[in-house]
Structure 1
């Protein structure tokens, strides 16, 4: 399985390390042609405005819109994928919804389909303010959606790459396997 990690800015190295630990071949994506042949793409946390500017500068915004494999966006990656920016998932997102950097926190998350709580790491994290009818909300914090899926798109407002728990990345890789089966 060949997974790209958008490597313009943000926590891309941490995602790459988790994916490699799970047996995926990882490609750091900085140019549109690097999306060719990938089975999935991760858009990491970072600073969403900077990421959008850089994606526009390198032509990655349109290339990612045209990318037809699964995509997993975390924190700023969730913002980038929302309906106001790339428009790949039907959610509205509030940036820095939980507060500034000093308000960063960890919280146990009850993730749909998981028996054990997952520790979510929230750093200047967004939350979903509204979701279209095709969006499945998979986890919430204090009533605010923080993990969601619509078709081949998975988004999290937290940073699963900053924990030793690989279940959210495993869920993404399972989505990639499902899509590979559909395409075959």
Structure 2
């Protein structure tokens, strides 16, 4: 099983390490051609507007939309924003894959970054969530399963083959959420 990590920004090597520890063959993805033989993809953190601009400049945007038609995608932090159908303060979505409405930088600026212990449905309890300029999910559509909340805000969800979280699981050394995504990829194959 091959899972790619979009390598435009973010903790790409940390996601690759977590995916490999979860039993997947993982690789960085910088070009559309590298999506062809993948079974799944991770959209890491970074800055969503910059990532979208880079997708457009490199021609990855259309390829990612095609990939999403039948392959699983896991978005973390900015990846969550890229996947949302609604983004507060923005006219229109980026990829628009998940029926969710998000608020960018919802927990504050970089200096307001924090860690919190989360209980994640289907994944486990006592998961260390690392929140860095994190968004949260304001609301979800009827087909979206809420997996975790923090301070009454939705911070992880799943809709079919799409998984997303507002925090950075790749920075913790805890691979349970990556293993859960690997399971989604296996189901989809």
RMSD: 1.0
Q: What residue number does 2:180 align with? A: 171
Q: What residue number does 1:31 align with? A: 31
- Structure 1 or 2: more strand by fraction: 2
* CA displacement at 1:131 relative to structure 2: 1.0
- What is the total number of aligned residue pairs between the two structures? 180
* Alpha-carbon distance in 2 for matches of 1:141, 1:23: 29
* Alpha-carbon distance in 2 for matches of 1:63, 1:4: 13
| 1:138-170 Cα distance to aligned partner (Å, 9 max, x none) | 000011000000011000000000001111001
Is the 8 Å Cα contact of residues 124 and 176 (structure 2) preserved in structure 1?
A: no
| 1:37-90 Cα distance to aligned partner (Å, 9 max, x none) | 101000000111110000011121111111121000000000011112101111
TM-score, normalisation: structure 2: 0.92
* Alpha-carbon distance in 1 for matches of 2:126, 2:146: 16
1:91 equivalenced with 2:100 (yes/no): yes
Q: Secondary structure at the match of 1:110?
A: strand
Q: What residue number does 1:53 align with? A: 53
Q: What residue number does 2:81 align with? A: 79
1:120 equivalenced with 2:125 (yes/no): no
Q: What residue number does 2:72 align with? A: 70
* CA displacement at 1:117 relative to structure 2: 1.7
1:11 equivalenced with 2:11 (yes/no): yes
| 1:98-157 Cα distance to aligned partner (Å, 9 max, x none) | 000111000011111344321100000000011111110100001100000001100000
Gaps in structure 1 of 5+ consecutive residues: none
The alpha-carbon distance between structure 1 residues 69 and 115, as it changes in their structure 2 partners (threshold 3 A), is closer
Superposition misfits of 4+ residues, deviation over 3 angstroms: none
1:157 equivalenced with 2:166 (yes/no): yes
Gaps in structure 2 of 5+ consecutive residues: 86-92
Q: What residue number does 2:142 align with? A: 133
